[in-house]
């Protein structure tokens, strides 16, 4: 992944997300998903704006079905906001940067 957005897999999900010491957004996406590609630049921008308080990762649902199934991902893109190992919020579909910033600011 480019910039400040990390690639997450089934194998490192627990360490990268559940044990993270800051708010973590996981973008459940797929290569073929046009809306997923549309939201990617927004996530890159947000990762750059909150380097100390926020971690953002992308989990490809086609390559990591175990985690996607565990969290009941049925539509993509789906963003799950994690803190202290728990899901705080779920956002499905493309959202504006302002909407995402509001959720981040409420939870960091």
Point out the residues that are catalytic. 33, 36
User: Cα separation of 102 and 1, whole Å?
Assistant: 24
Q: What is the DSSP string of 49-85?
A: H-TTTEEEEEEETTT-HHHHHHTT--SSSEEEEEETT
């Amino acid at each position: 992944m480019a910039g400040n957005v990390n690639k997450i897999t089934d194998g490192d999900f627990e360490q990268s997300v559940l044990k993270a010491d800051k708010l973590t957004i996981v973008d459940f996406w797929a290569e073929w998903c046009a809306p997923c590609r549309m939201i990617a630049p927004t996530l890159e921008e947000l990762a750059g704006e909150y380097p100390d308080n926020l971690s953002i990762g992308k989990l490809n649902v086609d390559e990591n079905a175990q985690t996607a199934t565990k969290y009941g991902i049925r539509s993509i893109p789906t963003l799950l906001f994690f803190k202290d190992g728990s899901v705080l919020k779920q956002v499905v579909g493309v959202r504006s940067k302002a909407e995402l910033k509001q959720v981040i600011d409420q939870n960091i």
